């Protein structure tokens, strides 16, 4: 069969997607109507045409504006359900999904509304499509440590519904150590830990070192600049860290990159996985298209795609029985 058929037929796991970044234009219009939110676009094509950005801050401005249509429990339910339905159709059997509570609590949405809607979407998608999923709560890193701690406290009554903690949004001048106390408490409370270390941010090598040595993450989301530093590569190898690489996001943020990040990690024996980031804002590319991109641009062959798929199931925050059942 063709490579396209091979990819489509693989049972897959995803570990790096921002739920707010899965909000496709059609659903955004429906939610805006439901909540009487005015959108400055005539139709979905005009909305999609407005998704023009050239770096992380210009991307984040569009991404945050999009989330303003989410108000009710059912909106959060519909968001998760639509994403899981879509990826189940690409033979994804397990997904870990980021959400950013501060985007919503800042707008006056109660934590309970958000988490209950997200959880209902997960349960209904498992019932209807058989797909398993878990939630990872991310802190918005340009906001204060106090703001992150406040949302951490709100999450504690729901910690059985949240598998891990992450850190996302604008990395520049917002190092991992800013959140050291929260991640220390998070570990004590039983959360698994990951963090974004994006491409070419200021002090990115020091951020990667802090994430590994001071925070003790099990994964790094992106982590590309580690490839510049042999000592960081060695540290990641010794500790068995996993990397969640997002091929299409890399292409959007750094046109012409040609998947040298994915290739570089594979060649150094690092345990990379392939993921989506924000598919609704990245030309609607989901996991099959991301896998095809590293095949076409970086020479990932079938055995390499099997390796990264195995890595994703090995990196998943699930117990060993479920791991065997899924993979
Ligand atoms: C994100 Cl691409 C990216 N980087 C950092 N934070 C994010 N949140 C949503 N998308
Ligand atoms: Zn991300």
- 170 known ligand binder: no
C-beta atoms surrounding 298 within 10 Å = 19
- Picking from 217, 222, 214, the residue whose alpha carbon sits closest to that of residue 178 is 214
* Token pair belonging to 262: 């994915």
- Summarised one tens digit per residue, pLDDT across range 170-206 is 999 999 999 999 999 999 999 999 999 998 889 999 9
Q: What does the pLDDT read at residue 199?
A: 87
Task: Report the CATH number of the 3-316 domain.
Answer: 3.20.20.140
What is the Å distance from ligand 1's center to 321 Cα?
Answer: 32
Residue whose CB lies within 8 A of the most ligand 1 atoms, among 16, 53, 63, for a mutation test: 63
How, if at all, do strands 219-222 and 92-99 pair? unpaired
The runs of H, that is alpha helices, within 53-189 are: 56-66, 73-88, 101-105, 111-129, 145-155, 180-188
Q: How many CB atoms lie within 10 A of CB 218?
A: 15
In this prediction, does ipTM exceed 0.90? yes
- The token pair at 151 is 């949302």
Task: Write down the pTM of the prediction.
Answer: 0.98
Residue 224, CB-side half-sphere exposure with 13 Å CA sphere: 20
> pLDDT digit string (tens) for 239-262?
999 999 999 999 999 899 999 999
Q: Whose CA is nearest to atom 6 of ligand 1?
A: 169
Domain-by-domain residue ranges, the chain? 3-316
Q: Which residue, judged by its Cα, is nearest atom 3 of ligand 1?
A: 169
From 228, 162, 180, select the one nearest 201 (Cα to Cα). 228
3-state SS assignment for residue 242: strand
């Amino acid at each position: 069969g063709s490579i396209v058929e091979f990819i489509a037929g693989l049972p897959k796991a995803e570990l790096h997607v921002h739920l707010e970044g899965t909000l496709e234009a059609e659903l955004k219009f429906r939610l805006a109507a439901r909540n009487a939110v005015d959108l400055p676009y005539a139709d979905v094509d005009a909305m999609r045409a407005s998704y023009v950005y050239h770096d992380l801050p210009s991307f984040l401005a569009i991404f945050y504006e999009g989330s303003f249509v989410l108000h009710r429990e059912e909106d959060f339910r519909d968001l998760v359900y639509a994403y899981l339905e879509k990826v189940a159709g690409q033979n994804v059997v397990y997904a870990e999904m980021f959400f950013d509570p501060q985007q919503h609590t800042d707008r006056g949405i109660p934590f309970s509304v958000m988490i209950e809607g997200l959880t209902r979407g997960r349960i209904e998608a498992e019932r209807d499509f058989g797909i398993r999923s878990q939630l990872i709560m991310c802190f918005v890193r340009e906001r204060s440590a106090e703001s992150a701690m406040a949302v951490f406290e709100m999450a504690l009554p729901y910690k059985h519904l949240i598998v891990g903690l992450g850190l996302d949004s604008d990395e520049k001048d917002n190092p991992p150590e800013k959140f050291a106390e929260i991640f220390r408490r998070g570990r004590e409370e039983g959360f698994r830990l990951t963090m974004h270390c994006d491409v070419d941010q200021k002090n990115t090598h020091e951020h990667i070192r802090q994430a590994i040595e001071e925070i003790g993450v099990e994964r790094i989301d992106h982590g590309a600049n580690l490839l510049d530093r042999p000592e960081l590569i060695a540290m990641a190898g010794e500790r068995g860290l996993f990397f969640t690489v997002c091929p299409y996001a890399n292409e959007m943020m750094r046109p012409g990159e040609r998947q040298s990040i994915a290739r570089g990690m594979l060649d150094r024996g690092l345990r990379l996985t392939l993921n989506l980031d924000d598919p609704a804002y990245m030309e609607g590319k989901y996991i099959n298209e991301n896998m095809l991109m590293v095949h076409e641009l970086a020479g990932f062959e079938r055995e390499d795609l099997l390796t990264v798929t195995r890595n994703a199931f090995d990196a998943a925050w699930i117990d060993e029985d479920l791991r065997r059942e899924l993979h």
